[in-house]
Chains A and B, each alone.
Chain A
Amino acid sequence: MAEQSVPSDARFAAEFNPDVGVEQVAAIYAEAAFGAAESAGRTESMLEEFDSLIADVLDRHPKFETLLGSALIPHDEKTAILDRTLGPTASSLMLNFLKVVSRHGRLDCLRAIHRRFHAVYDAARGRVPVELITATPVSDAEAAAIAGMLGGMVRGEPVLRRRVDPALIGGAVVRVGDTVYDGSIARQLENVRRKMIDRSAHEIQSRRDRFSNPAGN
């Protein structure tokens, strides 16, 4: 089982972005950044740097993020700020990338770009993000076993992300992309409930007299 490419859960917390337009823009920048990193042969380090930028800088200094995203501050000033704050530590590749994004006024999409970057990276490395939802926490060994089973189903290497949802009662739900494989007890109970209602309604409709009590009324 491959470890997921970012240790923190931060990137999944904001996974659902209702703004489809931002996602579309972010996909383009992420592709470009990934291409540049690949040809420089420094994809992994770039990824690490990007994770750290989100987790250590933007998460901790929300005002800095607002400043970068603001349209009131001109590009020149933003580059100067980037040079002063990140310049000493960031790689030239990362810094250039941020400046390019800044020049197009898209620094507000940085989190979306980061998310897409991971997606592009995972896809290029043949990794398939899989969400595993269970009623109780699963051990690493169990998770590895499940990942092994999933290996045959998904094209590529499954990257598990675990989540606990007590509402499932038991069993597991696996989500790959838009497809959900639901083996939870809650769903099975729901299925049984629906089937029983359907069947009973059908039986009543097909022979209405069968269920009435001749003695009663």
Chain B
Amino acid sequence: MKFKADEIASVIQQEIEHYDSQIDVREVGRVLEVGDGIARVYGLSGVMAGEMVEFPSGVNGLAFNLEENSVGVIILGDYLDINEGDEVRSTGQLLSVPVGDAVLGRVLDPLGNPLDGKGPVATTDRRPLENPAPGVADRQPVKEPLQTGIKAIDAMTPIGRGQRELIIGDRKTGKTSICIDTIINQKNTGVKCFYVVVGQKESTVAGLIEVLRAEGAMDYTTVILAGASAPAPLQYVAPYAGCAMAEYFMYKGDHALVVYDDLSKQAVAYRELSLLMRRPPGREAYPGDIFYCHSRLLERAAKLNEKLGGGSLTALPIVETLEGEVSAYIPTNVISITDGQIYLQPDLFFAGQRPAMNVGISVSRVGGAAQVPAMKRVAGGLRLALAAFRELEAFAQLGTDLDAATQARLDRGYRMTELLKQGLYSPLDVIDQVFAVYAGTRGHMDKVPVEEVPVWEEGLLEFIHEKKQSLWDKIKRAGDVEIDKATGRNEEIDAAIAEYQDLYSSKRQTATL
């Protein structure tokens, strides 16, 4: 590409003509010591907590600790360029990130600088990282569903727009996969997604970005990346940066989803900073305000009232536990802040139950009100039935003889757990889920061998779309199904599934012949 020299010259000329020299007034200090991502600065007597300061190398910092004789600054960038005795100037500004449509589809660092090599972010809108959460008067109850596309979650622990649902579990139990599936499922819903990466392996993240791109999810998704090699200050601010970008859409009346992957790493980064700043350590050496660090972040997720545009910001924080220890400090903190949790267990994961969600202790405190009515009617009681099944299963392992009724409940349970298994990156539409769950809970699968359940289910959904699209469309439009109170059944669906059942068994017979 060739540049038009005269065009550029005219811009520069305009700039010079309009330049009026002003005396540059600044408040300065000197670096006393620097290292490990923090600097101690002498002077800066008028600096305010949280104010951005600038080092001569152009790197920015954040006034973190105001002490009697010095200021503790966390360095957001390369601290190796900063020397003892350097002049530090205060900027009088708060840390902010670029926001707007231009950030969608990008991979950015927590300061909004591009990491994907696609050039600068073309927007002039900025939002401060730290922004007070909306107050009670600005909110309304969560009432719209946010479909994850995962049967087990949408049926039993539904998530609403504006909710904060914690995803908790040991390493390698599929926490990230649930969130990626959820992001992929937001296609064509208008929900903007923000995936905040804190302290994760960059090779894994590169893979995830590739998946999102391949699934067409990068069109509405921003990845905010502070990987394992990023200095602690960047890991600490990354969730706030993601939240600020997502908030922009919420206050515009749109819907946004932000995933924090994960907050335990952010807590570790914050602990590192606090200890370097000599703040007194508390339990597990975390500083006293670690709870506030997470609560002020998660409180910013909200469903705004209609006067403010009715936008929403849904947060899916992830917390990693060690050996299933949910009573550790950070997990208990975040559990108490969020509106429910999805608990993933390694033994379920290795038993092939994926998503490895423990249904008994996973809850959604507000999502029920936001669940699609059709799903609510079909899946009501599923949680309890599954919990009863797990209990019965443990009892049945003792090898005692079982009566026919108990055996039937066990068989139903095996098929239900099989039905709730779902492949990676294959979210289902909620109406598809309604059909599948209906078939399971109403006993249509009781005659299907357990190992054939996934094939049977896939076939059912295909059959419905091919032959019974009108019924599917009807439920989709109404968002509801009529369920007979006495029998708990819907005749139309029953008839459709029975028709498929005949087809399936005849097909199976010909296959075996």
Whether A192 lies near B15 (C-beta < 8 A) is: yes
Which of B15, B23, B42, B122 meets A182, CB within 8 Å? Answer: B23
Which chain B residues border A175 with CB–CB below 8 Å?
28
Do A24 and B69 touch across chains, with their CB atoms under 8 A apart? yes
B69 touching A20, Cβ below 8 Å: yes
Choose one: A182, A205, A213; the contact of B2 (CB below 8 Å): A213
Q: A182-B23, A195-B19, A201-B120 are known contacts. Are A16 and B30 too (CB-CB below 8 A)?
A: yes
Contact B45 A211 (CB under 8 A): no
With both chains docked as a complex, state the minimum distance between the C-beta of A109 and any C-beta of chain B, in angstroms: 14
- Contact between A182 and B25, CB atoms less than 8 A apart: yes
State whether A182 touches B26 (Cβ < 8 A): yes
**Bound-state Cα–Cα, A183 to B26, Å:** 11
Nearest to B70 among chain A residues (CB) is A20
Interface size on A, residues (CB 8 A): 33
B404 interfacial contact with A, CB 8 Å: no
Question: What does the 1/0 interface line of B26-50 toward A look like (CB < 8 Å)?
Answer: 1111101100000000111110000
Q: Does A216 contact B (CB under 8 A)?
A: yes
Closest-CB distance, B8 to chain A (whole angstroms): 7
Which residues of chain A in 171-202 are interfacial with respect to chain B, using CB atoms and an 8 Å cutoff?
175, 177-183, 187-188, 191-192, 195-196, 199-202
Residues on A with C-beta less than 8 A from B284 are none
Q: Is A31's beta carbon under 8 Å from chain B?
A: no
Report whether B1 and A217 are in contact in the complex, using a CB–CB cutoff of 8 Å.
Answer: yes
**Secondary structure type dominating chain A contacts:** helix
When C-beta atoms are compared, the residue in chain A nearest to B46 turns out to be: A178
Considering the chains assembled together, what is the distance between the CA atoms of A211 and B24 in angstroms? 32
- Interface: A23 (CB within 8 A): yes
Q: Is A85 an interface residue (CB 8 A)?
A: no
Q: Does B68 have its Cβ within 8 Å of any Cβ on chain A?
A: yes
Within 8 Å by CB of A187, from B12, B15, B24, lies B24
B381 interface residue, CB < 8 Å from A? Answer: no
Across the interface, B85 reaches (CB within 8 A) one of A16, A20, A200, namely A16
B21 interface contact, C-beta 8 A: yes
Q: A217 to nearest B CB, angstroms?
A: 7
CB pair B25 A18 closer than 8 Å? no
Indicate if A203 sits at the interface (CB-CB under 8 A): yes
Which residues of chain B are within 8 angstroms of A180 by Cβ–Cβ distance?
24-28, 89
A213 to B33 CA separation, bound complex (whole angstroms): 50
Interface residues in B102-121 by Cβ distance below 8 A to A read 120
Question: Does A125 sit at the interface, judged by CB under 8 A?
Answer: no
Q: Determine the distance from Cα of A199 to Cα of B9 in the docked complex, in whole angstroms.
A: 12
* Contact (Cβ within 8 A) A18 B23: no
Taken together as a complex, chains A and B put the C-alpha atoms of A202 and B11 apart, in Å, by: 11
Q: Is the CB of A217 within 8 A of B46?
A: no
Q: Does A212 contact B (CB under 8 A)?
A: yes
Chain A nearest CB from B125 CB (Å) reads 13
What distance in Å separates the Cβ of B203 from its nearest Cβ neighbour in chain A? Answer: 32
B32 engages A20 (CB within 8 Å):
yes
Q: Contacts A24-B68, A192-B15, A203-B11; is A181 near B30 (CB within 8 Å)?
A: no
User: Quick check: A191 and B24 within 8 Å, CB to CB?
Assistant: yes
Whether the pair A178, B28 counts as a contact (CB closer than 8 A) is yes
B84 in contact (CB, < 8 A): yes
Within 8 Å by CB of B120, from A181, A205, A217, lies A205
Distance in angstroms between the alpha carbons of A179 and B11 in the assembled complex: 34
Which of A23, A203, A206 lies at the interface centre, i.e. has the most chain B CB atoms within 10 A of its CB?
A203
B3 at the interface (CB under 8 A from A): yes
Chain A proximity of B9: nearest CB distance (Å): 11
Chain A: which residue is nearest B23 at the CB level?
A183
User: Does B4 have its Cβ within 8 Å of any Cβ on chain A?
Assistant: yes
Q: Does A210 contact B (CB under 8 A)?
A: yes
Rounded to whole Å, the gap between the CB of B122 and the closest CB of chain A is 4
Residues B11 and A192 in contact, CB atoms below 8 Å apart: no
B493 to chain A, nearest CB (A): 54
Question: Which residues of A lie under 8 Å from residue B1 when comparing CB positions?
Answer: 212-213, 216-217
- Of residues 71 through 128 on chain B, the ones whose CB sits less than 8 Å from some CB of chain A are 84-85, 89, 120, 122, 124
Shortest Cβ distance from A27 into B: residue: B69
Instruction: Tell whether, in the assembled complex, residue A179 and residue B29 are in contact, meaning their CB atoms are under 8 Å apart.
Output: no
Is B16's CB under 8 angstroms from A192's CB? yes
Q: Given that A181-B25, A183-B23 are contacting pairs, would A20 and B42 also be in contact in the complex, using a CB cutoff of 8 Å?
A: yes
Q: CA A26 – CA B69 in complex, angstroms? A: 13
Q: How far is the CA of A182 from the CA of B25 in the complex (A)?
A: 6
Q: Are B15 and A196 in contact (CB under 8 A)?
A: yes
A199 close to B11 (CB less than 8 A): yes
| Inter-subunit contact A211/B42 (CB<8 Å) | no
- Closest chain A residue, CB of each to CB of B89: A180
Kindly state the separation between the CA atoms of A145 and B405 in the bound complex, as whole angstroms: 104
CA distance A188 to B85 in the complex (A): 23
Interface residue B7 (Cβ < 8 Å from any Cβ of A)? yes
Please name the 5 residue pairs, one residue from A and one from B, whose CB atoms are nearest each other, closest first: A216-B2, A213-B2, A182-B24, A20-B69, A205-B122
What is the interface of chain A, defined by CB distance below 8 A to chain B? 16, 18, 20, 23-24, 175, 177-183, 187-188, 191-192, 195-196, 199-203, 205-206, 210-213, 215-217
Binding site for A on B (CB under 8 A): 1-4, 7-8, 11-12, 14-16, 19, 21, 23-30, 32-33, 42-46, 68-70, 84-85, 89, 120, 122, 124
5 new A-B pairs (CB below 8 Å) besides A16-B85, A24-B69, A181-B25? Answer: A20-B69, A181-B23, A183-B21, A211-B4, A213-B3
* 13 A-B pairs (CB sep. < 8 Å): A20-B69, A179-B26, A179-B28, A180-B27, A181-B23, A182-B24, A183-B24, A188-B24, A200-B8, A210-B7, A211-B8, A212-B3, A213-B1
